[in-house]
């Protein structure tokens, strides 16, 4: 028989490490919402008449207080939880639970060095009190003072001796950051109105609202999909098309997000899949997966491998096809809007006096000046003259029509050299040209300006009887955009708060 050696651990260090498993203070503090919600779900399944679970946060510079109205634990239940760290009784309940290993009670270690728990199980029961400290492997159980007794069943946690100022704007527990994180993590329960979360800080309290998503759905056929044809392992996809390309797809377990972004997961085919493209947002529910401690990822077991394979083989190609079609429609709509605005902008410019000598295509015809009213006079007092009417046409003849302008973007067969050309009534913009690629990476103003520039270029080129203006304009455009991209953006800007230098001889405005 080999000799067996007991392994001893340094409890304070281990408990502190358990509390540091979470990715951030926000992830740590949300464990107290999960624990309260687990308790509420357990009691509701047991038949206790409970309203929505409410968790309220109060944050100031000295302490973070969390209060939940789900009936708290009795003294014996609390002691049992402390004696079974990493061996939670939740695993023996036989019902889905958010938490699994009973380590969330030590999540305070990321925020403060001391946590005081007040718990009351029923209206007739007492308030029990426990104190945990970062540097101790034991829990203290003082008697709750009269002023500390909870007025009704529930749980109150006060985290003190804080490690940072939680009221700092843009800090780890900034109210806006907390609200966004809770809205994402607990979206399922918030939308079902099973959960209310209140965040109070800086004298104001805000309720966390479920996210409003107005994007088009994709993958609706995967509302209840058996993984590898196994009905015991079912996933549900709630996915939307994000035309902005900033979407993230998360994975939920028991209604709470575990993986926030599949694109950041180092797994076969996931980083290159449609779920990491940015054009899909939403969540996939997979309760058959096993979350790791602190629920930052899932156990990389056979269930996980089958889940990843199912995403790549079944969901991925189908969702990709839907996304490709929606992107095509969005591109047509978006570029159609840009083209219309560019045509209108070009026409407004060609209406100016400087361009009156140009012959414009019918799609860019100048607006007719409004006819003067009787007795109306110009600014110099002279009577306004009406424009002469068009000369009469022979009966049965139609007015002459020049080519109409429409805009299309396509790759030129002869490569990236030219910016644009006019062909059969279309201003064709070369999508291979490097200046096009650079401007399309900018905002709407850059895209609009580029298309309008190409319309102007082709309009001017059409007025050249010699046929060489188009080539010279191409060279000018190449020069212009290279100059634009070489000149630093800060060139010509004045330092903030400093008025422009006044030229000698300038007079102050009255």
Q: pLDDT tens across 455-467, in order? A: 898 888 888 877 7
Spatial separation of the C-alpha atoms in residues 296 and 425, rounded to whole Å: 58
Is the whole model's pTM more than 0.75, yes or no?
A: no
d(CA 381, CA 163): 79
For position 362, what pLDDT does the model report?
64
Q: Which helix (H) or strand (E) holds 235?
A: strand 230-241
Q: Are 73 and 43 in contact (CB under 8 A)?
A: no
Give the Cβ contact number of residue 504 at 10 Å.
Answer: 5
373 pLDDT higher than 70: no
- The DSSP letter of residue 7 is P
> What's the average model confidence in pLDDT over 109-128?
94
Chain centroid to CA 323: 17
CB-count burial class (<10 Å; 0-12, 13-18, 19+) for 148 = middle
Q: Exposed/middle/buried for 193, CB within 10 Å: 0-12, 13-18, 19+?
A: exposed
Average pLDDT, the chain: 83
- What is the Cα–Cα distance from 188 to 206, expressed in whole angstroms? 19
**Which of 259, 237, 410, 228 has the alpha carbon at shortest distance from 322?**
237
Strand order in the sheet with 195-201: 127-133, 112-120, 154-162, 64-68, 53-59, 195-201, 204-207
SS (H, E, C) 388-440: CCCCCCCCCCCCCCCCCCEEEEECCCCCCCCCEEEECCEEEEECCCHHHHHHH
What is the pLDDT, as a whole number, of residue 447?
87
Per residue in 52-71, is it b (16+ CB within 10 Å) or e — as a string? ebbbbbebeeebbbbbbbbb
- Percentage above 90 pLDDT, the chain: 48
Top-level CATH class of 11-204? alpha beta
Reported as a pLDDT band with limits 50, 70 and 90, residue 100 is: low
Q: Which of 416, 414, 459, 455 is nearest to 438 (CA)?
A: 416
Residue boundaries of the structural domains of the chain: 11-204, 217-320, 358-364+403-485
Quick check: 502 pLDDT over 50? no
pLDDT tens digits along 67-94: 999 999 999 999 988 888 766 555 555 5
Euclidean distance between CA atoms 170 and 222, whole angstroms = 38
Task: For residues 117-141, give the mean pLDDT.
Answer: 94
Please report which residue ranges of 229-315 form alpha helices under DSSP H: 302-310
Q: How far is it, in rounded angstroms, from Cα 255 to Cα 271? A: 24
Q: Are strands 249-253 and 256-259 parallel, antiparallel or unpaired?
A: antiparallel
Given pLDDT bands bounded at 50, 70 and 90, which one contains residue 375?
A: low
pLDDT digits (tens, 9 = 90+) for 190-202: 999 999 999 999 8
| DSSP assignments along 161-191, one per residue | EESS-TTSTTSTT-HHHHHHHHHHHTHHHHH
pLDDT, one tens digit per residue, over 259-315 is: 999 988 887 778 889 999 999 999 999 999 999 877 788 999 999 999 999 998 889
Predicted confidence at residue 15, as pLDDT, reads: 83
218 in Cβ contact with 315 (< 8 Å) = no
Q: If we measure between CA atoms, which residue out of 155, 164, 50, 188 comes closest to residue 111?
A: 164
Residues β-bridged to residue 128? 119
């Amino acid at each position: 028989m080999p000799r067996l050696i007991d392994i001893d651990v340094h409890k304070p260090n281990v408990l502190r490490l358990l509390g540091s498993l979470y990715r951030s203070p926000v992830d740590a503090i949300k464990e107290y919402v999960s624990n309260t919600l687990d308790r509420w779900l357990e009691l509701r399944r047991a038949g206790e008449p409970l309203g929505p679970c409410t968790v309220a946060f109060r944050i100031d510079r000295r302490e973070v207080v969390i209060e939940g109205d789900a009936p708290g634990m009795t003294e014996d239940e609390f002691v049992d939880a402390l004696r079974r760290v990493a061996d939670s009784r939740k695993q023996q309940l036989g019902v889905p639970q958010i938490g699994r290993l009973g380590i969330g009670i030590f999540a305070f270690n990321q925020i403060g060095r001391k946590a005081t728990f007040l718990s009351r199980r029923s209206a007739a029961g007492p308030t029990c009190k426990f104190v945990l400290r970062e540097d101790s492997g034991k829990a203290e159980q003082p008697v709750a003072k009269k002023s500390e007794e909870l007025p009704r069943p529930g749980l109150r946690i006060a985290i003190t001796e804080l490690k940072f100022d939680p009221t700092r704007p843009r800090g780890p527990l900034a109210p806006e950051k907390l609200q966004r994180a809770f809205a994402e993590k607990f979206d399922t329960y918030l939308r079902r109105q099973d959960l209310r979360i209140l965040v109070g800080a800086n004298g104001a309290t805000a309720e966390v609202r479920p996210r409003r998503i107005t994007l088009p759905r994709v993958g609706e056929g995967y509302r209840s999909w058996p993984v590898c044809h196994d009905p015991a392992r079912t996933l549900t996809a709630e996915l939307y098309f994000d035309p902005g390309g900033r979407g993230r797809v998360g994975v939920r377990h028991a209604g709470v997000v575990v993986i926030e972004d599949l694109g950041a997961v180092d797994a076969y085919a996931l980083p290159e899949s449609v779920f990491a493209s940015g054009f899909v947002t939403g969540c996939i529910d997979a309760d058959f997966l096993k979350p790791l401690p602190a629920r930052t990822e899932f156990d990389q077991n056979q269930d996980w491998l089958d889940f990843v394979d199912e995403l790549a083989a079944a969901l991925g190609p189908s969702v990709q096809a839907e996304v490709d079609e929606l992107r095509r429609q969005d591109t047509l709509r978006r570029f159609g809007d840009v083209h219309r605005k560019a045509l209108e902008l070009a026409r407004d410019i060609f209406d100016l006096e400087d361009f009156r000598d140009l012959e414009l295509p019918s799609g860019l015809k100048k607006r007719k000046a409004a006819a003067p009213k009787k007795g109306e006079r110009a600014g110099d007092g002279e009577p306004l003259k009406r424009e002469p009417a068009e000369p009469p046409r022979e009966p049965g003849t139609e007015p002459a029509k020049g080519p109409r302008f429409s805009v299309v973007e396509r790759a030129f067969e002869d490569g990236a050299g030219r910016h644009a050309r006019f062909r059969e009534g279309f201003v064709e913009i070369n999508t291979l040209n490097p200046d096009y690629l650079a401007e399309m990476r900018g905002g709407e103003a850059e895209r609009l300006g580029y298309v309008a520039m190409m319309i102007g270029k082709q309009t001017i080129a059409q007025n050249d009887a010699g046929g060489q203006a188009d080539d010279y304009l191409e060279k000018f455009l190449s020069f212009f955009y290279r100059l634009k991209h070489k000149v630093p953006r800060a060139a010509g800007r004045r330092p903030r708060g400093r008025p422009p230098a006044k030229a000698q001889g300038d007079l102050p405005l009255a």
